[in-house]
Amino acid sequence: MSDHNPKEPNINTLSVDLTELILSCLPIPSILRASSVCKLWRSLISSPTFTSPSLSHPWFFLFGLHNTSSRNNQSFAFDPLSNSWFRLPHLDDSSSSSFLGSHGFFFTTTPKFSYTPVLKSTWRLTSPLKYSRINPLLGVFHDGSSGGYGFKFIVVGGVRFIGGLVDMEDRLAVEIYDPNHDSWELCPALPADFRSGNSSQSLSSALFKGKFYVFGIYSCFVSSFDLQNHVWSDVQTLRPPGVIFSFLISCNDMLVLAGMCNAPRGPSFNLWKIDERTMEFSEIAIMPQSLLYSLVDSEEDDKFASLKCVGMGNLIYVFNEEYHQKYPACLCEISAENGKCCWRRVPQLPSPVNKFHKVISFCSTVSLTHIFDRQEDVGPAQAMYD
């Protein structure tokens, strides 16, 4: 005889709609585990109509590249809702040196340009770039003329090679790719002010309200490219008092500048809201000192120089691209209701973590369908963190 009391709640007695609603409220790692419980749950979760708030939270991707041994390359993704790291499959050896990521896609830029949706290794080659380059700025945008695919890519700056040598004179044109016609459109070049530093190592970018913003991490020069009219705005300087270096980030309905400052009260990492019409700034947050110093080696004179910043949606990630403490990171969540900023430490990367010569990082939303496609390769790294 069963001990089950028929009057007690039983999830098997719930309607399909209510079951689907409950499953949609789970973080992604729990959704993956739930999909293995029974055929009904698997069917609900794998349905194209299944949605989850978890998918709206941008993940933080970190790719570590080793110069001499590709076997030491490692790839990780952080899910902020479950506060968990995922270990990703290794990059293809031939593509790792020119690898980039942006807004739902992975890219390689040399020797040929190719792309694939995040977490779905279905690489597609494009027609050749007019100017092949490494370390460009790259964005994904949507416009009414994109037809069936609904998106286009914009490639800005980077380092061009001619005969195996770096071309120091060419500041490189902007190119826009239309996947419907497999064609590249050559657009006006970066303004001359950016000539001395035109790669992603010295520039940051942000897609915001139909414009692609380019910002000098150290120069603080800023200009925007109108994605419809294909013109650059006048170059301006965006430098709050005391800024040493900073990054421009698109966060939901506002532009945010995030940077390291030498302030009278001591070193600080600050966030400013930017008025895109006037380029005026107003401070919205300062990282807690204890959190800032947990990211660096306090014995080094230039300890803050290796801090980098990426962001998307309502999340901004700050991390150390040096091996100190195995690439520590923190995040700031900006409330959509009141604009309040909440800082917290990101868990350590799952061991073992190799020492890298180059770290590539970006934020992107993810597709549950693509996660299912890679479920055998992409799983929670160690146990889920609280």
What pLDDT does 4 receive? 54
Q: How far apart are the first and last CA of the chain?
A: 39
124/79 same-domain check: no
SS3 320: strand
Domain span holding position 256: 58-93+238-360
Sign of CA pseudo-dihedral 265, 267, 271, 277: positive
275/352 same-domain check: yes
Q: What pLDDT band is residue 101 in, cutting at 50, 70 and 90? A: confident
126/29 same-domain check: no
Euclidean distance between CA atoms 360 and 364, whole angstroms: 13
What pLDDT does 293 receive? 92
Q: Are 242 and 250 in contact (CB under 8 A)?
A: no
25/124 same-domain check: no
318/354 same-domain check: yes
Which of the 8 DSSP states describes residue 318? Answer: E
Which of the 8 DSSP states describes residue 42? Answer: H
Between 253-267, 278-292, 341-355, 358-372, the lowest mean confidence (pLDDT) is in: 358-372
- Give pLDDT tens digits for 167-221: 555 557 899 999 999 999 999 999 988 876 655 678 999 999 999 999 999 999 9
40/144 same-domain check: no
Q: What is the mean pLDDT of residues 48-65?
A: 82
Q: What residues are paired with 162 via a beta bridge? A: 165
What pLDDT does 167 receive? 58
Angle at 192 between CA 186 and CA 197, to 5 degrees: 95
- Structural domains of the chain, count: 3
Helices (H), 78-222: none
- Give pLDDT tens digits for 27-49: 777 887 887 788 888 888 877 77
Mean pLDDT highest for which of 33-37, 119-123, 161-165, 245-249? 245-249
DSSP run (H or E) holding 102:
strand 99-102
82/100 same-domain check: no
Higher pLDDT, 165 or 284: 284
